[in-house]
Structure 1
Amino acid sequence: MTLDLILGSAILIALIAFYFDNNTATKVKNGVVLGVTLPYSEIKNNEVLRIVDEYKKGNKRFFLIGIIIFFPISIINYPSLKMIYLFVWIFFMEILSYKLFGKYNKRLKTLKRENEWFISQARLLTIDTEVTRLKDKMPVSPLWFIPSLIISIIPIIMVIINKDFSFGLLISASTGLVGTITFMILYRLYCKKPTEIYSEDSKVNIAYNLIYKRMWTMGTVVAATVQSIGMIFVFLPMTLNSNSVVLLILSAVIPMTVILVGIYYINNKVTEEQNRLISTSSNPIYVDNDEYWFRDIYNNPNDTRYIVEPRVGYKMTYNLGNKKGRRIFYGSYIFAAILIIGVSIMTLRLDFKKMSIEVLNQIVKIEAPSYSFDFNVDEIEEIKIIDSIKVNLRTNGAATDKYAIGYFNVEGYGNCRLYIYDKNNKFIRVKLKDGEYIFISGTSKEETNKYYKLLTENSK
């Protein structure tokens, strides 16, 4: 149930992000709509508006399809298969999104070709020295990241000074810091983005680039702060022995929602202000680069930039016509594929490779995915069946509604090893002479009794 709530929340956020990302294609940006450059005089052409309207309806159907095809995840019993289904769902929605855009992008390009709505300039080579001189003053100060860095470090300090310190808990506490660093990297990318020239008037160019860099760098600062606060509220319930699923979900969903809304607002605001500047400029420079673009994929060997502003969507994109751009673009996909495959294999092992316990030559061997353990029977001080335990915190392990494997903080016992495959079953409590506790529960009452008998007979 908990995993379903978390996945449901994640999918809702992903769907909303998909929908608004697709919808940015309908907003006129520097004369571009649905990824096609049009003369400003034809933006309101009836045929153009009809194609845009049909695309909007298609995007709504896309949203509905996304909801429908996600429902089967609720009838899947294994967490690993749920995760794999989620990855497949995201992959399918990405393909569907590209097909949706490609269909209407192609129709608008055909309309443009039939009406010969071409703009003479193919590339922009103009350099505005005044804009170049002022480009480093356009982003907000990086000192604004200090609050989020301080907030992100608080959980790490709490873990280090805690007597139940563990490496797994330290990794969990570092999530906020990793998020802040990620937004700092995005900040640097926005800062390093080359200034662009859209008018022969330096004042217009300065204002155009200032709006973009100022708002997006401020956005990364706000996002870093929001996520660091959110991670605090995710982490604190763990240290306060609270198992509130609702609080955990809200702590993740609310910051993510705020960030997505912020991205949507900034994109619309930047586009609106930039369009206003260009439309009021007496000598704008129009550029037709359609041949180098498909959605957010840019391939222009004549452009030395490796990172560019997208025509569709919110994220920055890379120039595949540039060697550095290709390395980053393909490298990110390879990294994502390796990560997804690794997570899938790990979760499959946790679900389908069950625990086994055997005693060989006075050595108790507990075989479990990623958390195997063995000890001498002479180390056993006590073995007892108990009805229940209260797990306060996972410090380094895997846990779902069904099982808990690895290191956990258990109320009254401190950090313990858990090998629990049925949380509604009784538990074997093994106390070692060094004070460490091990809790064991098989997939059934019979399996638990079998392990209890095995351990008691060999510890006599």
Structure 2
Amino acid sequence: MSLVVLFILIALFILVVTQLIYGVRTQVSGGVIVLGIGFPKDAADSEEVQMLRTRLRRRSLALIAAGVLLLLPMFALRDLFSLVFVYWWVWLVVFLTAGYKLFAASHRSASQIKQAKGWSLGERRVVRVDTTLILLKHRMTVSPGWFAVPLLVSLAAICYAVRDSQDMGAYLAIQAAGMTLLLFLVSLAIRRVRTRAYSADSVINAALNRAQRRTWSFLFLGLALLDAIFAAFAVWTGLQEAAYLDTVWYIVLGIQIAVPFAAAAYTDRQAKKRQLELEKSAEQPFMTDDDEYWINGLWYYNPNDRSMMVPKRGGFGLTLNMASRGGRLFMGITAAFVVLLIAGISIFAVREDWMKPAMSINANGEVRVESPSYGYSFSLDQVQDLALTDTLPSGSRVNGVATDTYARGHFKLKEWGAARLYVYTNSPPYIVIHLPDQTVVFNYRDKEATLRLFGELKEMTEPTGK
């Protein structure tokens, strides 16, 4: 699968999902959340609110259509991965911002309608706590100690990958260990979520709080186990080498993304369903109208709530309380990490795109391959065989870069085994140099330059009898 096609599919998935979430209706105690505003059930079906939803849906479809059209220029940039990568991120920021602004405008209009009609879900600025639950809240979640299981699996996979020199396997295992630690921290944050009172009945409150906390903590533990087991499976079976450049690998990665997403959506749906069922059985339910704590219906900011994370108002999952110190710290660290990651990959991609590999031979018979990140040198005395070919065997990346145009770094090729590639994949011929422990494959984009280099290598290796 082309990297450009993969990037486009990911971009469309993100855009479509976010726009669909913006239009979701979420049932809550005593009403419905529409466009980030809490309405009584009858009011949510009013003509004014439905017109707002229809207008947002129409504008969202237009935005998606415009997004599709503005992704097409990526095909023209496919020869330069650095430009594809930067263009993709610019596109993502622009269209996510545009989608957010569309929703924010609809949210403000919905808020104005609600105020004009005098609609309300219940009491305002009410934060109730059932004191009988305070001492029980840590018992309502899965013990954080269980996260030691996925962490140990990830660490074992790291050791195995390092011992077998599996660079990509080590990366997968390290990523799994990092994800386990992140989910562990999120699980701890769940334990600090304020115990909420839904009614005057402590039994109802205990049941709801326990169900929500345990459901989410089980989900986070399950995701950590899934990631660790996948990394261990890839390392111990060699999947990370056997399928990295094939469609199979993209399918596996797609499953890795889809399963957690589907699990989170199902978990959230079940938690809300259980909440509504239990609330219906409460004799004295507490209904509160907390629109004022949701900035544009999406960002939770409540200084009176010590919880770092709370359930989202629309869509599914949890969101941060930006009024809490932990929420601001988590958001800041995440934003800094994303910026540094994007900057690092962009710099790496620019170097690889614009600093072309070159091969030279000095007077001492040393061959040097100049490459931005994967330079290498060897002696002509090590050459066991020298050949020119128009095709290369299939293989996988171990530690390197592979785009639609070129492949550089450490690879594992069928028939040849370990190999260092410095090739333009669609510009044969390729110079194949077999060494005792690996194979070096090199070419220039210009065919004549490749043939001249091959002639020079052939001339200098023939006197040695090779």
Category of TM-score, reference length = shorter chain: 0.7 to 0.9
Contact 2:430–2:442 (8 Å) recurs in 1: yes
- Indicate how the Cα distance of structure 1 residues 120 and 21 shifts in structure 2: closer, same or farther if over 3 A, else same: closer
- Describe the SS at the equivalent of 2:410: strand
- Describe the SS at the equivalent of 1:407: strand
Which residue is equivalent to 1:334?
336
- Indicate how the Cα distance of structure 1 residues 239 and 58 shifts in structure 2: closer, same or farther if over 3 A, else same: closer
Please list, as runs of the form range in 1=range in 2, the aligned pairs for 1:7-406 lying within 5 A after superposition.
Answer: 7-24=7-24, 26-30=25-29, 31=31, 32-39=33-40, 42-78=43-79, 79-118=81-120, 121-141=123-143, 156=158, 159-160=161-162, 162=164, 165-228=165-228, 231=231, 236=237, 238=239, 241-242=242-243, 245-294=246-295, 295-360=297-362, 362=364, 363-375=366-378, 377=379, 379-382=381-384, 384-387=386-389, 388-406=391-409
- Indicate how the Cα distance of structure 1 residues 450 and 383 shifts in structure 2: closer, same or farther if over 3 A, else same: farther
- Indicate how the Cα distance of structure 1 residues 339 and 192 shifts in structure 2: closer, same or farther if over 3 A, else same: same
395-404 or 225-234: bigger deviation: 225-234
Whole-angstrom distance in 2 between the partners of 1:241 and 1:327: 40
- Indicate how the Cα distance of structure 1 residues 356 and 175 shifts in structure 2: closer, same or farther if over 3 A, else same: same
- Indicate how the Cα distance of structure 1 residues 188 and 169 shifts in structure 2: closer, same or farther if over 3 A, else same: same
Shift of 1:107: 0.8
- Indicate how the Cα distance of structure 1 residues 179 and 330 shifts in structure 2: closer, same or farther if over 3 A, else same: closer
Whole-angstrom distance in 1 between the partners of 2:152 and 2:12: 31
Contact 2:245–2:396 (8 Å) recurs in 1: no
253-262 or 276-285: bigger deviation: 276-285
Q: Under a length normalisation based on structure 2, what TM-score does the superposition of the two structures give?
A: 0.84
Whole-angstrom distance in 2 between the partners of 1:229 and 1:19: 33
- Describe the SS at the equivalent of 1:80: helix
- Describe the SS at the equivalent of 2:28: coil
Shift of 1:108: 0.9
Whole-angstrom distance in 2 between the partners of 1:390 and 1:155: 29
Q: What is the RMSD of the two structures over their aligned residues, measured on CA atoms? A: 3.4
Contact 1:22–1:59 (8 Å) recurs in 2: no
Q: Which amino acid aligns with 2:398?
A: T
Q: Which amino acid aligns with 2:186?
A: L
Structure 1, unmatched stretches of 5+, are none
149-158 or 276-285: bigger deviation: 149-158
Question: 1:231-258 deviations in whole A, cap 9, x for unaligned?
Answer: 5676646467457733222212234223
Whole-angstrom distance in 1 between the partners of 2:191 and 2:58: 36
- Describe the SS at the equivalent of 1:281: coil
Shift of 1:61: 4.3
Whole-angstrom distance in 2 between the partners of 1:182 and 1:324: 14
Shift of 1:156: 4.3
- Describe the SS at the equivalent of 2:400: strand
Whole-angstrom distance in 2 between the partners of 1:157 and 1:413: 26
51-60 or 78-87: bigger deviation: 51-60
- Indicate how the Cα distance of structure 1 residues 36 and 64 shifts in structure 2: closer, same or farther if over 3 A, else same: same
Which residue is equivalent to 2:431?
428
Whole-angstrom distance in 2 between the partners of 1:276 and 1:59: 33
- Indicate how the Cα distance of structure 1 residues 190 and 59 shifts in structure 2: closer, same or farther if over 3 A, else same: farther
Contact 2:374–2:409 (8 Å) recurs in 1: yes
Shift of 1:95: 0.7
Whole-angstrom distance in 2 between the partners of 1:84 and 1:347: 9
- Describe the SS at the equivalent of 2:266: helix
- Indicate how the Cα distance of structure 1 residues 245 and 154 shifts in structure 2: closer, same or farther if over 3 A, else same: farther
Structure 2, unmatched stretches of 5+, are none
136-145 or 318-327: bigger deviation: 136-145
Contact 2:26–2:314 (8 Å) recurs in 1: no
Whole-angstrom distance in 2 between the partners of 1:269 and 1:49: 26
Shift of 1:406: 0.9
Shift of 1:309: 2.9
Q: Under a length normalisation based on structure 1, what TM-score does the superposition of the two structures give?
A: 0.84
Identity of aligned residues (%): 25
Shift of 1:131: 1.8
Shift of 1:329: 1.7
Q: What count of residue pairs does the alignment treat as equivalent?
A: 455
- Indicate how the Cα distance of structure 1 residues 398 and 15 shifts in structure 2: closer, same or farther if over 3 A, else same: same
Which residue is equivalent to 1:438?
440
- Indicate how the Cα distance of structure 1 residues 137 and 37 shifts in structure 2: closer, same or farther if over 3 A, else same: same
- Indicate how the Cα distance of structure 1 residues 320 and 142 shifts in structure 2: closer, same or farther if over 3 A, else same: closer
Whole-angstrom distance in 1 between the partners of 2:36 and 2:376: 57
Contact 1:357–1:365 (8 Å) recurs in 2: yes
Question: 1:3-43 deviations in whole A, cap 9, x for unaligned?
Answer: 2443344335424532443244x223344432223355644
Contact 1:402–1:422 (8 Å) recurs in 2: yes
226-235 or 408-417: bigger deviation: 226-235
Whole-angstrom distance in 1 between the partners of 2:241 and 2:320: 44
268-277 or 36-45: bigger deviation: 36-45
- Indicate how the Cα distance of structure 1 residues 448 and 173 shifts in structure 2: closer, same or farther if over 3 A, else same: farther
Shift of 1:181: 4.3
- Describe the SS at the equivalent of 1:253: helix
- Describe the SS at the equivalent of 1:317: strand
Shift of 1:102: 0.6
Q: 1:418 aligns with which of 418, 421, 440?
A: 421
- Indicate how the Cα distance of structure 1 residues 103 and 243 shifts in structure 2: closer, same or farther if over 3 A, else same: closer
